[in-house]
Structure 1
Amino acid sequence: MNDHSEGPVGAEVGEVRRFWGGLGLPGLVDVHTHFMPERVMRKVWDYFDALGPLTGGLDWPITYRHEEDRRTELLREFGVRAFTAMLYPHKPGMARWLNSWAVDFARRTPDCLHTATLYPEPGVEAYVREAVEAGARVFKAHVQVGAYDPADELLDSAWGLLADAGVPVVIHCGSGPAPGKHTGPGPVGQVLARHPRLALVVAHMGMPEYEDFFGLAERYREVRLDTTMAFTDFGEALMPFPRRALPRLAALGDRVLLGSDFPNIPYPYLHQLRALERLGLSEDWLRAVCHDNGARLFGL
């Protein structure tokens, strides 16, 4: 393990650890970190480098462009007790292969919550069931990248299976940083109307439709939100959070989860934590968001 006292990364490690230590926490639980097969991750980075349309055309340098082993090591140095391998298909036939990779990654990375994914295609219920039976603890759905309707009938039985199993799904369904044909609260609202017990974690706080997704969380007890990129300088410049919604954010404090998008973030990991701190909500709120809510959801 690297010496925490050396260099800018070492300084950041110390600051991150002081952040959660000052709150009296044993560490952090981050529900939105990306690990995937290396050639897929490299293609994702190439997409960001090329300012692809789904990035909103924004300059998006990858802060933690390291080999897989270094990325996992760095999260541990930060004190992240549990993290995820958010991976997602963009075409049919890809999800089952990604899920096979994720089984192996979870086995060799015990602090990673075994993550799986899905896509609207024939056979989706079968491979979702296989993933659940193999021990998947969280799923990732990416409506924007996959360019699919989450209310597609092909997914209906899979959503039902996940609702019955109580396995959470982190879903990118908001219209940021660039809208898609099926992003926004409407399609996900249709899914929840059919499966009200489905444990959806709305990624990025649903930006920019923050308040609409708050409404879904207020209506459906199993809907949660993750903080990924929300409230940061980058997020605020792109899609600012409405200050009038702060009381609703505070009231939903038991269902907001820390997410970072590590390693694919254009700023230091510490900045997401400081962005949450500067909201001025209580230390109890911060403790719940940064650790306790995730620990409770995943039985840590």
Structure 2
Amino acid sequence: MTELVAAEAQAEVAEVRAFWERLGLPGLMDLHVHFLPPPIERAVWREFDNGGELIGRSWPIRYRFDADERLRLLRAFGVRRFPTLPYAHKPGVAAFLNDWSRDFAAEVPEALWTATFYPEPEAASYVEGLVRDGVTLFKVHSQVGRFHVDDPLLDPVWAILEDSATPVVAHVGSGPVGTPYTGPEAMARLLRAHPRLKVLVAHLGAPETADFVTLAETYDGVHLDTSMALAPFFGGRIDDGLVPRLGALRERVVYGSDYPTLPFRYVDQLGWLADLGLGDDWLRDVCWHNAVRLLGPGVADS
């Protein structure tokens, strides 16, 4: 981190802390953060640098620091807990990602033990083992993985997760670039088959936010994370008609940032949340209490 970047970071730290201190919170719960094995992380960042087919544009990564520096900055911001959010992009890689994420969480007190899965015959076996061992949450990315979340190979996986009430962060919206595998239809089919699932829809499901809000209004286990969704960079503002519906879903909207792959300052998203005008109690729930409700009171112990 250069001297100039360090000075900018110090100023941003003060802004982030002022946000949650004003709300009387002990910090932030950020349920959309990525830490990946270095070779995979480098490959992901190359896709962002090149504006790959699933990125669709130039996407400068603001927090391109090594893992230790990124951890120090999150801690300085006051982020008390965060996941690693690995996501399998092809068969046979989930086990490697899951082992790495387990080791990372064992070494980093703030890290939530996160795992992933992919539509493959052995998925139910390793997911069952992870749930038995106490994994906190899972992540799937239907856009990158090129699969529908209701793929028949995943049906026994969803049954395990429904019965265990283990949450899953799911990138199923069509942002930033839609594919045949994104959109609300597959998630709607999945929820009809497994209505008790706990699903945290990434990015408010943008750009199909209205459809995913409807799913959250229909199924008690559907939650929405805010990462990138309010950013003009990602697609613009939330329709005015959706704002009161998000307000009514106060206990099921969860703060997420998408750190470190942000093209703008971390603190900007907190400001955009406040700009929705839904009030301080709503912000307190979104930035802290809802993550505790979703993951259990032990998540706040770190």
One fold, TM greater than 0.5?
yes
Instruction: Tell me what 2:201 maps to.
Output: 202
Distance 1:151 1:183 in 2: 12
Distance 1:23 1:9 in 2: 22
Distance 1:51 1:100 in 2: 29
Assess if the C-alpha contact under 8 Å between 2:230 and 2:236 holds in 1. Answer: no
* TM-score (structure 2 length as normaliser): 0.95
The Cα shift of 1:239 comes to: 4.5
Instruction: Tell me what 1:285 maps to.
Output: 282
Q: Secondary structure at the match of 1:54?
A: coil
Instruction: Tell me what 2:129 maps to.
Output: 130
Instruction: Tell me what 1:257 maps to.
Output: 254
Instruction: Tell me what 1:35 maps to.
Output: 35
Distance 1:131 1:110 in 2: 19
Q: Secondary structure at the match of 1:53?
A: coil
The Cα shift of 1:233 comes to: 2.6
Note the aligned Cα RMSD (angstroms).
1.4
Distance 1:73 1:197 in 2: 37
Alignment of 1:15-164 (within 5 A): 15-56=15-56, 58-164=57-163
The Cα shift of 1:135 comes to: 2.1
Q: What is the letter of the counterpart of residue 181 of structure 1?
A: P
The Cα shift of 1:59 comes to: 1.7
Assess if the C-alpha contact under 8 Å between 1:203 and 1:225 holds in 2. Answer: yes
Assess if the C-alpha contact under 8 Å between 1:30 and 1:83 holds in 2. Answer: yes
Percentage of identical aligned residues: 49
Assess if the C-alpha contact under 8 Å between 1:207 and 1:239 holds in 2. Answer: no
Segment drifting more, 239-248 vs 166-175: 239-248
Aligned length: 294
Q: What is the letter of the counterpart of residue 100 of structure 1?
A: D
Q: What is the letter of the counterpart of residue 135 of structure 2?
A: A
Distance 1:246 1:115 in 2: 30
The Cα shift of 1:134 comes to: 2.6
Confirm whether residue 273 of structure 1 aligns to residue 270 of structure 2. Answer: yes
What do the CA deviations read for 1:146-197 (whole angstroms, capped 9, x no partner)?
Answer: 0001111100010110111111000000011110111111101111111111
* TM-score (structure 1 length as normaliser): 0.96
Distance 2:272 2:231 in 1: 5
Instruction: Tell me what 1:13 maps to.
Output: 13
Alignment of 1:176-255 (within 5 A): 176-235=175-234, 238-255=235-252
The Cα shift of 1:234 comes to: 1.5
Assess if the C-alpha contact under 8 Å between 2:231 and 2:237 holds in 1. Answer: no
The Cα shift of 1:218 comes to: 0.5
The Cα shift of 1:295 comes to: 1.7
Distance 2:175 2:218 in 1: 23
Q: Secondary structure at the match of 2:257?
A: coil
Assess if the C-alpha contact under 8 Å between 1:229 and 1:261 holds in 2. Answer: yes
Closer/same/farther in 2, CA of residues 183 and 239 from structure 1, 3 Å limit:
farther
Structure 1 residue ranges (4+ consecutive) displaced by more than 2 angstroms after TM superposition: none
Distance 2:102 2:243 in 1: 39
Q: What is the letter of the counterpart of residue 123 of structure 1?
A: E
Distance 2:20 2:90 in 1: 39
Q: What is the letter of the counterpart of residue 163 of structure 2?
A: D
Assess if the C-alpha contact under 8 Å between 2:124 and 2:156 holds in 1. Answer: yes
Distance 1:19 1:241 in 2: 21
Distance 1:232 1:152 in 2: 31
What do the CA deviations read for 1:113-163 (whole angstroms, capped 9, x no partner)?
Answer: 100000000100011112222321010010000000111110001011011
Distance 1:149 1:101 in 2: 25
Q: What is the letter of the counterpart of residue 88 of structure 2?
A: P
Q: Secondary structure at the match of 2:115?
A: strand
The Cα shift of 1:240 comes to: 3.6
